[in-house]
Structure 1
Amino acid sequence: MPHAVIFDMDGVLIDSEPYWTEAEQYIFNQLGVRLPPEITAQTAGMSTKAVTALWYAHSPWTGMTLAEAEQAVIDYVARAVVERGQAKSGLLPLLQQLSEQKIPLAVATNSPASLMHTVLDHLQIRHYFQALCSIEDVSQGKPQPDIYHLAAQRLGVPSRHCLVFEDSVTGMTAALAAGMQVIALPADHHWHKAEYQQALSKIRNYHELPAEPAQWLQLSAVD
């Protein structure tokens, strides 16, 4: 059984990845940036600051600073979360089960703290977590492992005893670099990416997990 469980946020606690796509399209298109799919496919799991810098390097704009563009994207996503956000299927009973079994829980997200708090409050799940880690808490976001090491430290559990739920290759890379095991929840259009072979397994939602956390670490390798 894992001694602690750490959750990414976007695409893991809440089905918010489409909101990021909407936000980037809306904000950056207003700035005259066209978002080629081959570049958009690289941004999953990246921090908003890194994504903004990527698009600016691709197509520099005027009239808005990078910091203003970054905040505009975050504000768009926050509004979408409050208006439309729903928990990942099976998340709420899973959190209740882990809480009853007294397994320490943390959030580790490349999103800013303001958005993390918006999501936790909207879903009414803040009370389940003993540690909350956002991009502002570390000098380097995912794919670097810093935020996962920090989450383990705040939970008081060695990294090697932590299990992570991640949806992106970027996040999975960070968790694996921290010495943690990963169960992946890829988006449908990323389901067959070869990189997910590194995870213990991959699931579409939490209903697909075995009933007991003790069984999670014996899951079959991904296909």
Structure 2
Amino acid sequence: MPAAPLPYALIFDMDGVIIDNTAAQARAFQLLFRDLGLTTNARRLLRRLNGMPAGEILQHVFTKPVPKKQLAEFAAQRELLYRVLYWHKRQALPGLREFLQAARAAGFRIALGTGSGTETISYILDHLDLRRYFDMVVGKDDVSKGKPHPDTYTTTAHKLGIEPARCVVFEDALLGEQAAYRAGMRCIGVSTTLNAADFQAPLTVIPDFTHLTPQQVLALLKQHPEAPKPSKQLAKRQYMRG
């Protein structure tokens, strides 16, 4: 009797992938910057640094070093603003539930790998009743280094018991895409934050999950059997002020 084929894993980022919340995130940052007397453009900031924890993002907007305790307070303020702004807008990206159900039926393992903390993950997953679709949830508290370091995705693959080469990451951010490639994984882009041309080398770019099927993912994996080499330029953790 032939051995059963090895499973593939689908690993989803949270913000901008299972939900379309980038506008609310940017607005929360912009309100915080206004309170702090900063002129930073939040949308431009997130185009470059989206995928990092808020505290780490905030490190890049000050011209002088800020104590970690104060950065944490600013991040908590931004989180409160974000939750208020997004409270009544929480909903899954179109087609997500149906795709997750179909992927599980097709034999995929499914996980979440995000730079968000436990409470923020719960704010989305449990409110939307999405946690039941995921075999594993990995957040910022589970790793020592955030994106574009590969830790989020390598940790997720390890916990799933699946080799990185058999993992596909869904990402909306440059740093997240680079984290996937650094982990030896392939990536599907989600264009809630970036245009398709902004990504480096995704298998494909989708606006949502309405027309994606597990069979299409398998076909893309066969067409692109190797993970791309990460781009040092795109992995730079810096805010481009130009």
Residue in structure 1 matched with residue 55 of structure 2 by the alignment: 49
Q: How many residues align?
A: 216
Q: Does residue 201 of structure 1 match 2:207?
A: no
Residue 40 of structure 1 and its aligned partner are, at CA, apart by 4.8
Aligned twin of 2:174: 169
Residue matched to 2:39 = 34
The secondary structure found in structure 2 opposite 1:41 is helix
Instruction: Say whether residues 1:112 and 2:117 are aligned partners.
Output: yes
- Kept in 2: contact 1:142–1:174 (CA 8 A): yes
Could you tell me which amino acid in structure 2 is paired with residue 209 of structure 1? L
Secondary structure of the structure 1 residue equivalent to 2:38: coil
Three-state SS of the structure 2 residue aligned to 1:122 is coil
User: What SS does the aligned partner of 1:148 have?
Assistant: helix
Secondary structure of the structure 2 residue equivalent to 1:23:
helix
1:181–1:200 CA contact under 8 A, matched in 2:
yes
Contact 1:32–1:61 (Cα < 8 Å) also in 2:
no
Gaps of 5+ in 1: none
8 Å CA contact 1:159–1:178 kept in 2: the answer is yes
- Describe the SS at the equivalent of 1:184: strand
List per-residue Cα deviations over 1:169-208 (Å, max 9, x = no partner): 1100001100001011123653322xx2411111111123
1:103 to 77, 95, 108: 108
1:140 matched residue in structure 2:
145
After TM superposition, give the deviation of residue 97 of structure 1 in Å.
1.0
Segment drifting more, 134-143 vs 95-104: 95-104
Other-structure match for 1:214 = 218
Tell me how far 1:167 sits from its aligned partner: 0.6
Matches for 1:19-98 after TM superposition, within 5 Å: 19-36=24-41, 38-55=44-61, 57-58=62-63, 65-98=70-103
Select which of 5, 8, 20 maps to 1:3: 8
The SS at the match of 1:187 is: coil
Counterpart of 1:149?
154
Gaps of 5+ in 2: 1-5, 225-242
- CA separation in 2, counterparts of 1:104 and 1:206? 17
Identity of aligned residues (%): 31
User: Cα distance 1:10–1:40, how it changes in 2: closer, same or farther (>3 A)?
Assistant: closer
8 Å contact 2:106–2:214 — kept in the other structure?
A: no
User: How far apart are the structure 2 equivalents of 1:204 and 1:3?
Assistant: 23
Q: Deviations over 1:117-156 (max 9, x none)?
A: 1110121110111111111111100000001000001111
Q: Is the 8 A contact 2:16 2:193 kept in 1?
A: no
Q: Is the 8 A contact 2:47 2:194 kept in 1?
A: no
**Mean Cα displacement is larger for which, 130-139 or 184-193?**
184-193
1:179 aligns with 2:179: no
